[in-house]
Amino acid sequence: MERALEALRVGNDKAKAVDGLPVRAHRPGQEASFYEGFALRGIRVDRIQPGFLLCSFTVPPRLTDVSGKMAAGAVVNLVDQVGAAVMTSEGHHKKPSVDISVAFLSPANLGDELEIRSKVLGNKGGLTGTHILLMNKTTGQVVAEGRHCLFGNLIKSKI
């Protein structure tokens, strides 16, 4: 346990380096989000149509584990964020997640370019289901498949 704690301990110099990272606001008039800048920086929207969202993302060093593979939490984060974002393609407000299921099928490595496909499966009452597929663009291998359930009013936003 002591060795594990020592490995996880962050020195002042590293903590200061993280605190000094530039973080820009993603939405006009709102405060900058370190989370969005760290976890989502580099994601590109390639195509959007009602009920469908296609994105690209190159695995950066900041989201990999010690072996150079994309961290499981980073994969789940993409399923969560892209699964929720596809709702806006239908003109709805984002709703909070109530259930996420992710199957990890093959690893994504540092520098791999991923294709992320998200589609709305349907709406029933206040529930919306989405399906998210992460694939390696070069090999065609499925990295992960996710199902995402969100709950809230289906109020159309004024886009």
**CATH number of residue 115's parent domain:** 3.10.129.10
Q: Tell me which of 128-132, 142-146, 148-152 is least confident.
A: 148-152
Mean pLDDT value across the chain:
83
Banded pLDDT at 149 (limits 50, 70, 90): confident
The answer as to whether 104 is a domain residue is yes
Convert the pLDDT of each residue in 111-138 to its tens digit.
999 999 999 998 888 888 899 999 999 9
The answer as to whether 2 is a domain residue is no
> What is the amino acid identity at position 120?
V
Domain, as residue range, for 145? 44-151
Structure tokens of 64? Answer: 């990999």
Q: Tell me which of 32-36, 43-47, 96-100, 105-109 is least confident.
A: 32-36
Banded pLDDT at 29 (limits 50, 70, 90): low
Quote the Cα angle for 23-24-26, to 5°. Answer: 130
Answer whether 57's CB lies under 8 Å from 44's CB.
Answer: yes
pLDDT of residue 119: 95
pLDDT of residue 154: 57
Element (H, E) at 72: helix 72-85
pLDDT of residue 17: 64
Domain count, the chain: 1
pLDDT of residue 32: 60
The answer as to whether 6 is a domain residue is no
pLDDT of residue 152: 76
pTM for this model (two decimals): 0.75
Which of 133, 136, 134 lies closest to 112 in space, CA to CA? 136
pLDDT of residue 11: 67
The answer as to whether 100 is a domain residue is yes
The answer as to whether 33 is a domain residue is no
The answer as to whether 49 is a domain residue is yes
The answer as to whether 32 is a domain residue is no
Convert the pLDDT of each residue in 47-89 to its tens digit.
999 999 999 999 999 999 989 999 999 999 999 999 988 887 7
The answer as to whether 85 is a domain residue is yes
Element (H, E) at 44: strand 44-49
